Amino acid sequence: MAYYYSEPSRTFSEFLLIPNLTTKDCTPANVDLKTPITKFKKGEQPDISLNIPFSSAVMQSVSDDQMAIALARCGGISFIFGSQSPEDQAAMVRKVKEYKSGFVVSRSNLTPEHTLKDVLELKEETGHSTIAVTDDGSPTGKLLGIVTGRDYRISRDPLDKQVSEFMTPFSSLIVGKSGINLPEANDMIWEHKLNCLPIVDGEQRLESLVFRKDYDAHKENPLALMDGNKSYIVGAGINTKDYEERVPLLVEAGADILVIDASDGYTEWQRDTIAYVKENFNVKIGAGNVVDKEGFLYLVESGADFVKVGIGGGSICITREQKGIGRGQASSLIEVAEAREQYYKETGIYVPICSDGGIVHDYHITLSLAMGADFVMMGRYFARFDESPTKKLKVGNNFVKEFWGEGSNRARNWQRYDTGGKSGLVFEEGVDSYVPYAGSLKENLDKTISKIKSTMSNCGAKSIDELQQNARITLVSATSLVEGGAHDVIMKETSFSGE
């Protein structure tokens, strides 16, 4: 006979935290969000910790090299998406590892034959006012000039005016030579009063751009997540099918940690994949996703360095509707966290858990940490930012960014959602959607982090560990949910919230 759970499965929105005594030293400024991401023995330190408990989802529309750099700079980690060829994925990992802080690959590029109209459209799409003009319009083509807002007047210049007529030509540009270091580039920026210094190689090919504002930003990132060589730490998603081909390339490219990316991780394929990685490489590997004690213990006993929790709660995920499997994210997390505590008591080994999917409000992050997660993984949250790989568009009066699930036809990530056979994906488990555009990652992350720290201060916790030990959490009734929002007043304006 089937087993029936006595409790319904619950989501984050059904819970609230109760404040504990806040001592005078427990201010938000004193809250430390450092958190382990790989398993460790009691009394020892984990090999990899995050400085903030955030990871970006293993998704085409979320985690490429640009996102990985931006998030590592703030102290979190991205897992570069695996629904691409192993070579392309390894190239993204390599870009992150080789990235020299302050040197950015030009993201807005045109040819001299383009027009002012193209400049304005590109500026609207990317938000960048500095455009590199190269012979082939690529970020690494021969540099022929630069266009900034100071090179044209929209009120005077015709829209069909060619870029070659108004760009600042290469002969008038101050450029840095390949191999220059950041302090030297910064000196040139100051000496020549520049906003941007292009770096070119011996054949005048563009390598990168150094911006005045980025140099300042660089100094503002004390939490940046770096390895011993001062390269950003980066993760990569793998699957249980082509790992023998993919993992060697990822490890060679410098991936610090892998995660098996699957909607249902309680499988023998995951055990085999972990065994292969552990036998052949010295790289950390997480596994998932699971929603109960049995799944957690199976993956831990298979050797996983962390375990990812959640089935069907993702914003673009329709697994529950399509297949009828899954569990409310809060219930999954509570059960897995209990199993983790038990395991820790019995073995002295602490296995970090990651709450993946279903974070809608910032406070859901704090709740998931209080319920036992060591870090969260988010897709929708990060997809809204400038740094996500997708297009920014205007829909009605609002800017949006594209966001699609890995189980959607658009991603065609056969391996993740197809558990066997040769027929491939015959139905979708994800949708193709838009999310409200929200600006830069750092600005939004700072706001979210200040909310988390403020709540932790209310709960009398100066660290995630203290929050997990001491949090008091209550279920809310359906009626009291209404009380939680603005109610019984006439709102002056409705805002288009991106949170």
Residue 262 makes contact with ligand RVP by CB under 6 A: no
Question: Is 420 annotated as ligand-binding?
Answer: no
Tell me which residue of 262, 271, 286, 269 sits closest to 417, measured CA to CA.
Answer: 262
Q: Pairing relation of β-strands 353-356 and 306-309?
A: parallel
Question: Is 47 annotated as ligand-binding?
Answer: no
Rounded to a whole number of angstroms, the minimum distance from the CB of residue 357 to ligand RVP is: 4
Residue 53 makes contact with ligand RVP by CB under 6 A: no
List 234, 316, 445, 467, residue binding ligand RVP (CB under 6 A): 316
Residue 379 makes contact with ligand RVP by CB under 6 A: yes
Residue 57 makes contact with ligand RVP by CB under 6 A: yes
Q: 206 or 234: whose CB is closer to ligand RVP?
A: 234
Residue 235 makes contact with ligand RVP by CB under 6 A: no
Q: Pairing relation of β-strands 196-200 and 77-80?
A: unpaired
List 315, 332, 366, 388, residue binding ligand RVP (CB under 6 A): 315
Residue 435 makes contact with ligand RVP by CB under 6 A: no
Residue 464 makes contact with ligand RVP by CB under 6 A: no
Q: 418 or 466: whose CB is closer to ligand RVP?
A: 418
List 110, 122, 378, 400, residue binding ligand RVP (CB under 6 A): 378
Tell me which residue of 468, 441, 347, 486 sits closest to 75, measured CA to CA.
Answer: 441
Rounded to a whole number of angstroms, the minimum distance from the CB of residue 408 to ligand RVP is: 5
Residue 359 makes contact with ligand RVP by CB under 6 A: yes
143-182: contacts with ligand RVP (CB under 6 A): none
Residue 264 makes contact with ligand RVP by CB under 6 A: no
Instruction: Please identify, among the stretches 63-71, 170-178, 379-387, 487-495, the one whose residues bind ligand RVP according to the rule CB under 6 A.
Output: 379-387
Neighbouring residues of 156: CB distance < 8 A, sequence distance ≥ 6: none
Residue 358 makes contact with ligand RVP by CB under 6 A: yes
Tell me which residue of 431, 329, 446 sits closest to 385, measured CA to CA.
Answer: 446
Q: 52 or 378: whose CB is closer to ligand RVP?
A: 378
Instruction: Please identify, among the stretches 91-99, 185-193, 211-219, 373-381, the one whose residues bind ligand RVP according to the rule CB under 6 A.
Output: 373-381
Q: Which of 317, 327, 380, 384 is catalytic?
A: 317
Question: Is 189 annotated as ligand-binding?
Answer: no
Q: 36 or 265: whose CB is closer to ligand RVP?
A: 265
Tell me which residue of 113, 95, 112 sits closest to 104, measured CA to CA.
Answer: 95
Residue 59 makes contact with ligand RVP by CB under 6 A: yes
Rounded to a whole number of angstroms, the minimum distance from the CB of residue 134 to ligand RVP is: 35
Question: Is 317 annotated as ligand-binding?
Answer: yes
Residue 314 makes contact with ligand RVP by CB under 6 A: yes
Rounded to a whole number of angstroms, the minimum distance from the CB of residue 400 to ligand RVP is: 15
Q: 239 or 315: whose CB is closer to ligand RVP?
A: 315
Distance CA 142, CA 132 (A): 10
Instruction: Please identify, among the stretches 15-23, 164-172, 375-383, 489-497, the one whose residues bind ligand RVP according to the rule CB under 6 A.
Output: 375-383
Residue 73 makes contact with ligand RVP by CB under 6 A: no
413-432: contacts with ligand RVP (CB under 6 A): 429-430
- 358: its two tokens: 């279903």
Three-state secondary structure readout of the chain:
CCCCCCCCCCCHHHEEEECCCCCCCCCHHHCECCEECCCEECCCCCCCEECCCEEECCCCCCCCHHHHHHHHHHCCEEEECCCCCHHHHHHHHHHHHHCCCCEECCCCEECCCCEHHHHHHHHHHHCCCCEEEECCCCCCCEEEEEECHHHCCCCCCCCCCEHHHHCEEHHHCCCEECCCCHHHHHHHHHHCCCCEEEEECCCCEEEEEEEHHHHHHHHCCCCCCECCCCCECCEEEECCCCHHHHHHHHHHHCCCEEEECCCCCCCHHHHHHHHHHHHHCCCEEEEEEECCHHHHHHHHHCCCCEEEECECCCCCECHHHHHCCCECHHHHHHHHHHHHHHHHHHHCEECCEEEECCCCCHHHHHHHHHCCCCEEEECHHHHCECCCCCCEEEECCEEEEEEECCCCCCCCCHHHHCCCCCCCCCCCCECEEEEECCECHHHHHHHHHHHHHHHHHHCCCCEHHHHHHHCEEEECCHHHHHHHCCCCCCCCCCCCCCC
Residue 265 makes contact with ligand RVP by CB under 6 A: no
Q: Which of 340, 380, 384, 416 is catalytic?
A: 416
317 is catalytic: yes
Query: How many residues at the interface with ligand RVP, by CB under 6 A?
Result: 22
Question: Is 312 annotated as ligand-binding?
Answer: yes
Q: 262 or 277: whose CB is closer to ligand RVP?
A: 262
Distance CA 69, CA 101 (A): 9
Rounded to a whole number of angstroms, the minimum distance from the CB of residue 160 to ligand RVP is: 42
Rounded to a whole number of angstroms, the minimum distance from the CB of residue 196 to ligand RVP is: 34
Binding site residues, as ranges?
A: 261-263, 310-312, 314, 317
Catalytically active residues, by annotation: 317, 416
Binding region for ligand RVP (CB under 6 A): 57, 59, 314-317, 319, 356-359, 377-381, 405-408, 429-430
> Residue ranges for the binding site for NAD(+)?
261-263, 310-312
